[in-house]
Structure 1
Amino acid sequence: MKKILLAFFGVFLLLILSGLALPFLFKDKIVALIDREIQKSVNAQVIYDLDKISLSFFREFPNISASAQDFKIVGYAPFEGDTLVSLNEIQVDFNLRSVLFDDYPTLTGIHLNGGSLYVKVLQDGQANYDIAISETQEVESTQDSNLKIAANLIEIQDLNLVYDDRSLDYFMALGGIQAKGSGEFTSSVFTLPIEMDATIANITYEGVNYLTDKLFRGETLMQVDIDQMKFELTEGDFQINDFLFDLGGSIAMPAEDIEFDLVFSGKDNSFKSLLSLVPGIYTESFSSLESSGTMDFNGFVKGIYSEEKFPSFDVSLAVKDGMFQYPDLPRPVKNVNLAFQAKNETAQLDNTSIRISTFNLDFGSNPISGNFFLQDLISYTMEGALNGKLNLEELTTIFPIEGLSLKGNLAVNAFAKGRYDSVAQIIPAIEAKLLLTDGYAKSADYPAPIEQMNVNASIQNPSGKMSDFLIDLSQFGFTLEEEKISGKLKIKDFDQLIWDGAISGAVDLKKLLTIFPMEDMNLEGRIQADLETKGSYAAVEAKKYNQLETRGTMAVDQFKYTSTDVPQGVEITEARATFNPERIELTEFDSKLGQSVVQANGTLSNYMNYLLTPDGILRGQLNVKSPRFNANEWMTESASTEPTESLSVIELPKNVDFTLSAAATEVLYEKLTLNEIGGTMTLRDGLLTFSNASMKTLGGTIGLNGSYDPRDLTNPKFDFDLNILDLSIAESFKAFNTVKAFAPVAQNLTGRFNTSLNVSGILGQDMMPVLSSLDAKGLLRVAETALRDSKVLEGITSLTRLKDANTLQLKNISIPITIENGVMDVRPFDVKLWDYQANIQGSAGFDGSMNYLINMQVPAGKFGAQANSLLATISGNAVNESTLIPIALNLSGTYNSPKIALAGGNSMETLLSNALKARVAGETQSLQNQATEQFNAVQDSLKQELKLKAEVIQDSVKNELQKQVNVGKEKAVDEAKKLLKGFLPKVKETTKPDTVKVNN
């Protein structure tokens, strides 16, 4: 017996040791296989760390498991900025026998643990999940796939999913997905049990939000036919919050069309389960909500979905004798009855009918009832009614409204019947009334209530004709701490759109915001208005604006506003405006924008046309002045706790014709201090022009005329004429990026310069000029300057060994310059360098490169002993120490790392010898001509290279701006990411052309 036990424990120990050893023995084989298969099958960047790959014999025994942590997949263009997959851990299971004995291991299971999946489909149908290597690429590959797939298990834990399909205008965000499926996936027909839990953060289709913040749970048995692409649900239990339903039938996709044959019905006839779908009700206290009543839900969807067809359907919902009551509140909502049906018996969605034959409920002792019928989506024949009364004070005993007291009576009585046809200008006959009397609202955060809230409104149209339509808001108003606001408005004849209204009174914004607080915003001040308006849209269309009688006054006092978006704050000490039919006149405006005092006055005209017609143009003139304006305060994160968004291209309205005259004593802009600013800006047709603008800065004056043109947001342009007087050369280098790029020598120059320059180009998304796009033409004038501590001078001295080349004094220089596609071309100009006659030409690129040719005439004696020894060898009196020696120098590289060489590549000794001999022979001119020809040939080649580089950069800038134009869609994704905690961590690694990136 003892021997048997020893043998048993020996075998058991051997199995344990084998299980521990196997992962180490086969890790390299399995990792190499995974790496090879990814490269063969995935056209994307796959990122993982070899040190975070582990193998286990026990996780999925008798299979062997390989797991990798921090696993990511990032797509290539146009999805290079999107992380398709970001997993905390991915595990794949292999058949143990295949690992031990077969040439090619067999994959049996996949596990995704924690992380996120972001699926994105562009409007043209391109999808970021389409990363499988195409058949063409597979044919070109010299190796076939070595992986056998016999997977029978897929398991998902804590996965977040965003599906953003812009081709269908469909958006879905799911969080915390738990799912499991098992079956013979490798068979063409198999049964797949599925279990899934998730949070539905958002489901939106064509701009309509259908579900938000709902819990989903599902369990079903799916029959899968891969050859027919048919998926049949034989059994199914599903749940959204507490709403349970079953779903059966099939979905098939044999071709491009989708065939539906689905039947669904509610499984719990409880009214409370339906309440769980109502936003705001399904909270932690939902389980304690008292409820009764029955609910019945059923329907079907059957038919083909395609571009031409829509499946028929019939969806019904019925509620009988529903009641619910919040715990600790005395009154219930009771007698809830609803009968709803949406039906379409054809293959055309336009034939859908909607019927709400029964709708009624009692808010305590206040009944509300109604009905609605819509025949189809073609004629829009409809009939409906809504009637009810609400005691607002009683309402607070039904719904929990913490910190707010309400009083008053609200009555609604509405009826409509007829057909809606916008082309024929027919609408249903309507009779509707809304009456609020003795309204009262008091917040626990503010001692004084809003009182005497009264609204009396009616809508009438007995015939269904647009001309008989009448909206009569005969009374509205309220009182807050003895300050009263009241008004009226009547709109009749929707053909002519005739209105007559008035508003009068004052409101304290701080008091109002205390009663109705708004998050992340502070607001105070007093607004007083006394306005009357009457007119008609027919007068607007006829441009008879004198028939639009809008008159009155408006005043703002001690207004203060701050928010998370505007932490600097806006204060308006006093503002006064008067209104008449022709214009609005701003007579006073004394404000403080952040720490900057701003005063203004001016007029607006044609404002009624602007407000009432889509193509109306607002015209105006504004005069603004400020003693000191700090623009930096509005460009940085300033006092904000979070960094503000970077600058972006500013879009200008095309229906505004506005002239702004500005004057400021001092303006702080980035590192510049601008003084005595003045000028005029005109905004017209989406184009902003500057005229007679001037400012003092850097010890000189800048005059400006030009334009900013963002009408094409992907290619915003600017075009300015600059007139610069007495600007400091060195300070200009510090302040302007263009000077740093094209004239880096300015950092070592003293003195001042003048120029008249026309400059144009495109702007990047940060509103800064794109250097590669710059075009300019002008003349640079310098009266006197000195160059010291320059690596260029050091290089010239080292090469030529001229005695006085360490410093350079320049006077009365005029340099003609042109810039085209980011390349500055300096045409030949004469100058004296160290009292030697010289001629300079060349170019500088936007990338900091330079290429210059300097032709100088230097007396032979200036070269010292090396020239004297050569002079002694030449007989006769043709040459002496005063003989001028032509030198041609090439300057290339960059200013801080210059490359200086003699044209032709000769040494100084050879150059002096040839030049002195040429003097005797009279051939010196040909030496300089030859150097110039060689330089021009190289120059043309360099310019072409820079031009091609500039085109690439400009295309990249335009692509980035195009992305910015589509930023609205991206915001929806960002909001979903906020809802899903930890969603889509940023990938720090740069996308490279390698398919697989392994951190080892």
Structure 2
Amino acid sequence: MDLGKDPFDASALVQTPVSDPHIKAAAKGKINLGEIKNLIQLTPGTELGGVVNIDLNVNGNLSSIEKNQFDKFYAAGNVTVNNLVYNAAELPEKVQIKQARMTLSPANVTLSEFDCALGKSDLRAHGTLDNVLPFVMKGQTLKGALSLQSNYFDLNPWMAGESSELKAVPLPENVEFTMNSLFREVSYGKLKIQNINGVLVLKDRTLNLIDLNMNMLGGSVLANGSYSTPENALPRSFFAMKVAGLSFPQTFESFVTVQKFAPIAQSLQGTFSADFELMSDLDSTLTPVMKTLTSLGSLRIADAAIQDFKPLTKMAEALKLDRLKQLALVDLKPSYKIRDGRFFLEPLGFNAGNMAFVVSGSNGIDQSVDYSIKLRVPAEDMNSEANAVVSNLLNRKIDLLQNDYVDLVGNIGGSVTEPQVKFSAADVIKGAAAQVTSLLSQKAEEQKAAAADTVSAALAKQKEELEKMKQAAADSAKKEAERLKEEAKKKLRGLFKP
């Protein structure tokens, strides 16, 4: 038959489809899409062009492929695409495939070239698919490997509109796929992410992220983790992260988990580094189900400033100490855990100027707060109003000397937006040094050391599974390299046959 001005031949025959399918099929011809659009009805304004050349031939029993007896199954040919252009009203951007080439062999289908543009985005790929016919005919496991590269990729046009909201999609059970990626720059919402590279492994309904590196939010991120879609259950995610130099304001703006569990980040200026692990169920839009979220981590804050944080403002008003409204923070190392919808801060001691603090407690996704605070203030910072507050707590008049300090013990309750601050005790320390270590009680130290609980145990189990997957991926990559090396040797020997 003719497609436009070009001949196109195709045939297919399947015998004994149940016991052992024997497949004999062929297709050969040229498809000029610029002419094809005149033969079919397209939406007004649709742009279609380019040339597809097809030359494929298969002949043999499916069992030969299943037994890796590739010499008994004939499969050969290729498909090439040149300058394909497709643009339609239902697409957010024009699709252009400059060059693409797929080659068929008994063992696999090879994508040796793929150069594509999606609007301003570019994408290049190459890879292989193994066990294709057994997958199509009998639902056996499809295996493959793909490498993706891009200089710039903008996800936003493809995410616009209600219908394109991120949705949880069940991952296939019978697909094993490894993908290596290198994306120089990606735009996603307000996020600008650079130098994304790493490995994705799909197996047993689980997508594993292995050593995924990227630059974002002013710093760097190294992520390992998994996304799984078990049958008859919510999707589940696990991540082990190492971040360095991330901006507090950008991080707060970008992640709903930070907004829910660490609202203080909105009032912080500066950067932080952290090591943390996080596990959560996900809803139908891939948003974490907050009550199932568990996490354990530690941060390192070299230099930051906090201001306009309502609990601090309330403390300043209660103690008549305006200095508390804005603090410079240096060399902080907070540790935390999240469980049952609450963020728990382990006892944290630090100095801010010549004042010393110890803070511990929790806040919830309902914005409730429950924190204990110990504060040591030098006499030189105490004005007459502050002295009156302390005198009232002690039920006696105080007479502070220059080298004296005042110790205060209090609680912050209520909510983040409507905090309630109450100080229940005070003491005057004569000639003490404002060292935070002297404020830490033995009980607080014991609490800080007791981080190994059910949260860390659950996360440790996920981390162990991830390490197994990383090792399996490394072994698979090594095996694939050896296979390619052996194939190259065979081809080289074939060149010198008499």
Interval containing the TM-score (normalised by the shorter chain)? 0.7 to 0.9
CA distance in 2, matches of 1:695, 1:793: 35
Q: Is the 2:349–2:440 Cα contact (8 Å) retained in structure 1?
A: no
Match of 1:515 among 2, 21, 39: 39
Which of 51, 64, 69 is equivalent to 1:544?
69
Partner residue, 1:635: 159
Aligned: 1:740 with 2:263: no
Cα separation, 1, equivalents of 2:367 and 2:358: 22
Tell me, yes or no, if the aligned pair for 1:785 and 1:809 is still in contact at 8 Å: yes
Residue matched to 2:183: 664
Match of 1:497? 21
Superposed, 1:852-891 pairs within 5 Å as 852-860=371-379, 862-865=381-384, 867=387, 880=401, 882-891=403-412
Shift of 1:797: 1.4
How far the C-alpha of 1:679 sits from its partner, in A, is: 1.1
- Counterpart among 554, 559, 562 of residue 84 in structure 2: 559
Q: Is the 8 A contact 2:8 2:29 kept in 1?
A: yes
Deviation at 1:668, TM superposition (A): 0.3
Whether 2:425 is the aligned partner of 1:901: answer no
Specify the alignment match of 1:590 in structure 2: 115
1:669 CA drift (Å):
0.8
- CA contact under 8 A between 1:786 and 1:809: conserved in structure 2? yes
What per-residue deviation string (whole Å, max 9, x for no partner) do you get for residues 318-343 of structure 1?
xxxxxxxxxxxxxxxxxxxxxxxxxx
CA offsets 1:476-499 (integer angstroms, 9 cap, x no match): xx1134411113334334544323
* Partner of residue 617 from structure 1, selected from 138, 141, 159: 141
Give yes or no for contact 1:857–1:884 (8 Å, CA) kept in 2: yes
- Percent of counterpart pairs with the same letter? 26
Shift of 1:702: 1.0
- For the Cα contact (< 8 Å) 1:719–1:758, is it kept in 2? yes
Alignment check: 8 A CA contact 1:890 1:900 kept:
yes
Q: 1:269-288 maps to which residues of 2 (within 5 A)?
A: none
Q: After superposition, where does 1:121-520 map in structure 2 within 5 Å?
A: 478-494=1-17, 495-518=19-42
* Contact map agreement 1:651 1:713 (CA 8 A) in 2: no
Q: Distance in 2 between matches of 1:762 and 1:565?
A: 33
Letter in 2 for 1:617: T
Per-residue CA shift, 1:765-797, capped at 9, x if unaligned?
111222222111010110011112332332111
Question: What residue in structure 2 maps to residue 756 of structure 1?
Answer: 275
Aligned to 1:783: 302
Q: 1:802 aligns with which of 298, 310, 321?
A: 321
Instruction: Please state whether the residue corresponding to 1:597 is helix, strand or coil.
Output: strand
The runs of 5 or more residues in structure 2 that have no matched partner are 431-438, 448-498
Which AA in structure 2 matches 1:724?
Answer: V
One of 317, 332, 340 as aligned partner of 1:821 = 340
* Aligned: 1:626 with 2:145: no
User: Of residues 130, 133, 149 in structure 2, which corresponds to 1:608?
Assistant: 133
| SS, match of residue 375 in structure 2 | strand
1:567 is displaced (CA, Å) by: 3.4
Separation in 2 of the partners of 1:760 and 1:825?
A: 16
Hey, what's the Cα distance between the residues in 1 that align with 2:327 and 2:309? 10
**Residue 683 of structure 1: CA displacement?**
0.8
CA distance in 2, matches of 1:889, 1:546: 80
The answer to whether the aligner puts 1:693 opposite 2:212 as a matched pair is: yes
Aligned counterpart for 2:174 among listed residues 655, 662, 675? 655
Please tell me whether the aligned partners of residues 491 and 497 of structure 1 are also in contact (alpha carbons under 8 angstroms): yes
**Distance of aligned partners of 1:712 and 1:882 in 2 relative to their CA distance in 1, 3 Å threshold:** farther
Q: How far did residue 611 of structure 1 move?
A: 1.9
Aligned residues of 1:762 and 1:769 also touching (Cα < 8 A): yes
The alpha-carbon deviation at position 549 of structure 1 amounts to: 1.5
Partners of 1:859 and 1:589 lie apart in 2 by 69
* Secondary structure, aligned partner of 1:799: helix
State the alpha-carbon separation in 2 of the partners of residues 534 and 821 from structure 1: 59
Which amino acid in 2 is paired with 1:507?
A: I
Q: For 2:227 and 2:22, how far apart are their aligned partners in 1?
A: 40
Q: Which has the larger radius of gyration?
A: 1
**Contact 1:540–1:612, Cα closer than 8 Å, also in 2:** no
Could you say if the C-alpha distance between residues 793 and 496 of structure 1 is closer, same or farther in structure 2, counting changes exceeding 3 Å? closer
Match of residue 349 from structure 2: 830
**Inter-CA distance 929–479: structure 2 relative to 1 (3 Å threshold):** closer
Letter in 2 for 1:630: D
Q: CA deviation at 1:565?
A: 4.5
TM-score (norm 2): 0.79
The answer (yes or no) to whether the contact 1:546–1:582 under 8 Å persists in 2 is: no
TM-superposition CA deviations, 1:380-423 (whole Å, max 9, x none): xxxxxxxxxxxxxxxxxxxxxxxxxxxxxxxxxxxxxxxxxxxx
Long gaps (5+) in structure 1: 1-477, 638-642, 904-910, 920-927, 937-1000
In structure 2, distance between residues paired with 1:525 and 1:695: 36
Q: CA deviation at 1:687?
A: 0.8
Q: Secondary structure at the match of 1:653?
A: coil
**In structure 1, which of residues 702, 705, 708 is the aligned counterpart of residue 224 of structure 2?**
705
TM-score by length of structure 1 reads 0.41
The verdict on how the C-alpha distance between 1:857 and 1:722 changes in structure 2, with shifts beyond 3 A counting, is same
Equivalent position of 1:323 in the other structure: none
Q: For residue 719 of structure 1, what is the aligned residue in structure 2?
A: 238
Q: Secondary structure at the match of 1:750?
A: strand
The CA distance in 1 between the partners of 2:316 and 2:22, in whole Å, is: 86
Contact 2:92–2:158 (CA under 8 A) maintained in structure 1: no
Task: Find the residue that maps to 2:91 and give its secondary structure.
Answer: coil
Instruction: Check 1:773–1:592 CA distance in 2 against 1; reply closer, same or farther (3 A cut).
Output: same
AA at the equivalent of 2:8: I
Secondary structure of 2:323's match?
coil
Instruction: Give the SS at the match of 2:265.
Output: helix
Q: Against the structure 1 CA distance between its residues 546 and 886, is the aligned structure 2 distance closer, same or farther, given a 3 Å change threshold?
A: farther
Contact 2:335 2:345 in 1 (8 A): yes
Q: Number of aligned residue pairs: give it.
A: 430
Q: Which structure carries more helix by proportion? A: 2
2:330 maps to 811
Return closer, same or farther for 1:929/1:664 CA change in 2, 3 Å cut-off. closer
Q: What is the letter of the counterpart of residue 343 of structure 2?
A: M
Shift of 1:599: 0.8
Instruction: Report what 1:216 is aligned to.
Output: none
Query: 8 Å contact 1:556–1:575 — kept in the other structure?
Result: yes
C-alpha distance in 2 between matches for 1:676 and 1:742? 29
Displacement of 1:834 in angstroms is: 4.1
Give the Cα separation in 1 of the matches to 2:118 and 2:247. Answer: 31
The CA distance in 2 between the partners of 1:840 and 1:890, in whole Å, is 10
CA distance in 2, matches of 1:549, 1:773: 53
- CA gap of 1:713–1:735, structure 2 versus 1, over 3 A, is farther
Q: 2:298·2:334 contact (CA, 8 Å) conserved in 1? A: yes
Please state how far the C-alpha of 1:699 moved relative to its aligned partner.
Answer: 1.2
Aligned residue number for residue 849 of structure 1: 368
Distance of 1:892 and 1:618 partners within structure 2: 56
State the one-letter code of the partner of 2:144.
G
Query: How far off is 1:727 after superposition?
Result: 0.6
